[in-house]
A and B are shown apart, each in its own frame.
Chain A
Amino acid sequence: MGEKPVNKRKNKVLSLLSSILSSILRGINVFRLMKTIFLVERKNLKFRSILSVLILFIIGSFIYLENSQFRELEAATAAEVIAKNTALDLFRNTDATDPEVSTPIYRNLNVQSNQLAYRSLGLIMDDDTTYIQGAIELTKVRHEIYSMDGYNNVSQFIPTYRQNQLDHVLYTAIDDQNERLLVENSNFPTYIILLLLVLGVGWYLLVGIFSSDILLDEEDHKSLVNGYPFTMASKLSAKVFSYLVYMIGLLIITFVITVIVASIKYGIDLTYPVAIFNGDYFTIAIWEYLGLAFLYFICLSLTALTISIILNYYFKNLYIAIFVHFFLFFVPQLIPALGEWFWFLPFNYLNFSSVINGQVAEITGNQMVTLNNGFIVLVITIVIMFLFIYWQFYRSQIKQSKMVTIGGGNV
């Protein structure tokens, strides 16, 4: 009370120094705290509920693949033939070889018919080469239609530019690498694609829901946590660390279980090409796809964690945190125009599946929304958020220690 400003500053500096010193001296104890928090959290039913959700999901994904027509070529090719025929019905029947009487788009659709017929033939005769050649030629022919007049009239009957490009690079890669054609869907690559498709959509939301009470569940075991003489900041970092370890653990468990079960069930094949979009369309091997997904999921986990911490700090309500997570996740769908200008904002990148297949770039109309930029944006977001959190807690820590000094109590 009534101290001079110089003394005040001195006190501040001293208390800061001492806190830093003590935290270095007792740094080893931070690990003990982490261990305690980790042990306490491990018993948390929340962790088990997330684990049970994931296990149910894995079981469900196998049942789904068994029953569905996901990426089965026979039904897909038949549907393509019907769609193309319907597109042709929109035109009057004319001589397609005569440029005088037929429009370019009509001629193009007729050439597509030939190539589609090769694909059907390849399926009927069990001849991979015919199918693959037909598919490559078809994507080449289709490539021209997107810039033609009157494309909009037939757009709903043919794949979008993005889908066509993905098909093109996929079949070219299958051709180059002499891979087999996956006619049925009960095989390793298709399962992995399905798994990452669903996990990629759900992972951010899962971590978001799971971490939505990261600062609120302290109250369940207050005495235990407060028993350790640490600052809020080091407690927080211990907590974030234990959450992160748990999330990465879950990721590893999910990936390992699914890969092992799928390779027992379908036979392992880690080199099959998968078509992706990253500014350009190309293919990568399944193992690279898995690796990319793994790294991206870790970035997503950290993003979700930091957003949860900030929301918890300001609102102290887990449902608000959950709703904000959902809102952020659906922003690109709700307001696609936002992504066109603000491609560098993180909400464009929260859905791994639609970033890696170019869907976000397609609906926002901005080719900058790529996987590379996704990594960069997410990492920058995480760093900024952590700095912000550190600054927030650091400030509140000073405030707290000041109050303690003024009150004359002992820490």
Chain B
Amino acid sequence: MNYIKWELKGFFSNHKNLIIFALLLIASLYYALYIAPAYQPIESVNKEEVEARYEDRKEFLDNVEVRNGSHPLTIFAALVYPKWNELDGERLTALANGDLYSYAQATHEWYLYADENIKTDPYDVLRYNPRYYTYGNKHAKEDGHYNYLYSAERYSQYASANYELNLNIFEERTALQTLKRLLESGLPYILLLTCLLLSNDIVMKDRKHPSIVNGFPMTPFKRMMLKGLVALIGCLTSIAILLPAFLIIGFRDGFGTLDLPAVVYNFAFLNNGTYESISMGMFLSKYVVMLLLWFVLIISLVLLISILLKNEYFNLTIGIICFIEITYYQRRKILDDWLSYLPTSYVQIGDVISGYRNYALFTDSITTEKGFMVLFSTSILIILLIWLVIKKKKMTI
């Protein structure tokens, strides 16, 4: 027990670790104060946009006369617009009445109807929200399709929700939803690299005062495991450091509840999969489990490389495993199944859990359960290797 205390003290008074904690804190506060408020979702609640579309189409529908010789596009429009406009009308009245539940219901139906028509549009004239088609986006149509059905599923959950609704929830601005959005984009990289930097020197620092370290009466393997435990506690602290930023967003835009939907995509061929919701609490707990497995994996790798090569720089090269994935996972590429057995395929934890990886890569091989299995067995393998190396080398540090 003394040893753990001693290690913890060393860990939290280490200059490097304190700098990392300070940097994380500053970056997260900066994000909460400046970047998060500027977030503009593509699928926003935009009354003007709905109104403009509604009025335009209403005028057309009021004046159109479909005859035998009418232009095919006119016939198509006269066929598609009435229902569409009806839904837009419902959305507008719900917004005007402040009835968010019926707005959610109408919006749910609107997204389903819009996606179906855009997807099967024989003339290629209908489009998803123009903000998907920015210059250089080669996957605009896929993005639009995913986000429309994602929003449809989301709004169907809101319609039957037993919690208070507001516009921040609709636009995914509450603290929990912001966290989820970050967890699905850049945050996993930051967390994993932080873990690496924090645990980087946990073994190597002992070389500076070997006599103290060897004074503790325990086997080297046990000492390694305790070191790993301390590093794990340190990494969890780095998550706790993000808490002030979370509170700031929460008090400004609302926290949201753990019942909020997190949409999961179930893969089917040709991206015709279904969308279903799990609760935010479920999403976060799956996330935490996978993140913990990743931490264990990285820390045990650091331990293994430390005792094998005895050099801090080699530990830093572990950071590469976060980026190996980009070399083989590219959109619009047929993938081999075996790639999903590599732990590196699960770096984007959020996208793995939400199924977006499968959608973007046209594959059904990357699942959460497989991720747990792969990461868990890799960690066990590495810990076994540590045990073997220590036994073989009869090493002291």
Contacts and interface: CB of A to CB of B under 8 A. Distances in A.
A78 B138 contact: yes
B135 A69 contact: no
Contacts of A68: 330, 333
Contacts of A52: 317
B135 A67 contact: no
Interface in A68-117: 68-69, 75-76, 78-80, 82-83, 85-86, 89-90
B289 interface: no
Contacts of A83: 133-137, 140
Tell me the dominant secondary structure on chain B's binding face.
Answer: helix
B332 to A, nearest CB: 7
B15 A209 contact: no
A159 B16 contact: no
Interface in A37-87: 45-46, 49-50, 52-53, 56, 60-61, 63-64, 67-69, 75-76, 78-80, 82-83, 85-86
A40 to B, nearest CB: 14
A319 B16 contact: yes
Looking at B127, B134, B310, B313, the one whose CB has the most chain A CB atoms below 10 A away is: B313
B326 A82 contact: no
A80 B326 CA distance: 24
B122 interface: no
B215 interface: no
A177 interface: no
Contact of A82 (B20, B141, B197): B141
Contacts of A89: 127, 130
Nearest to B197: A319
Contacts of B140: 79, 82-83, 86
A45 B140 CA distance: 46
Contacts of B16: 317, 319
A56 B320 contact: yes
Nearest to B126: A89
Interface string B292-325: 0000000000000000011101101100100010
B133 A157 contact: yes
Contacts of B317: 49, 52-53, 56
B19 A319 contact: yes
Interface string A269-299: 0000000000000000000000000000000
A75 B138 contact: yes
Contact of B324 (A60, A159, A320): A60
Contacts of A123: none
B204 to A, nearest CB: 11
B23 interface: yes
B12 interface: no
Nearest to B132: A86
Contacts of B3: none
Given A67-B327, A67-B328, A317-B16, A45 B314 contact: yes
Given A67-B328, A67-B333, A45 B313 contact: yes
A86 B313 contact: no
A156 interface: yes
A158 interface: yes
A31 interface: no
Contacts of B137: 79, 83
A68 B361 CA distance: 12
A323 B138 contact: no
Contact of A49 (B20, B131, B133, B316): B316
A404 to B, nearest CB: 28
Contact of B328 (A63, A69, A320): A63
Nearest to B135: A83
Contact of B133 (A67, A82, A319): A82
A52 B318 CA distance: 11
Contacts of A46: 311, 313
Given A78-B138, A79-B140, A157-B133, A49 B311 contact: yes
A164 to B, nearest CB: 10
A113 B324 CA distance: 39
Contacts of A80: 135
B135 A158 contact: yes
Interface string B151-175: 0000000000000000000000000
B314 A90 contact: no
A225 to B, nearest CB: 18
A159 B135 contact: yes
Contacts of B127: 85-86, 89
Nearest to A159: B135
Contacts of B23: 323
Contacts of B309: 45
Looking at B19, B141, B310, the one whose CB has the most chain A CB atoms below 10 A away is: B19
A46 B329 CA distance: 30
Interface string B95-107: 0000000000000
B338 to A, nearest CB: 15
Interface string A156-183: 1111000000000000000000000000
Nearest to A76: B138
Contacts of B324: 60
Given A45-B314, A76-B138, A323 B133 contact: no
20 contacts: A46-B311, A49-B311, A49-B316, A56-B320, A60-B327, A63-B327, A67-B330, A67-B333, A68-B333, A76-B136, A79-B135, A79-B136, A79-B137, A80-B135, A83-B137, A85-B127, A86-B140, A156-B134, A209-B316, A320-B15
Given A78-B138, A83-B140, A86-B140, 16 more contacts: A45-B311, A49-B317, A53-B317, A56-B320, A60-B327, A67-B333, A68-B333, A75-B332, A79-B135, A79-B140, A80-B135, A83-B133, A89-B130, A209-B316, A319-B15, A319-B197
Interface of B: 15-16, 19-20, 23, 127, 130-131, 133-138, 140-141, 197, 309-311, 313-314, 316-317, 320, 324, 326-333
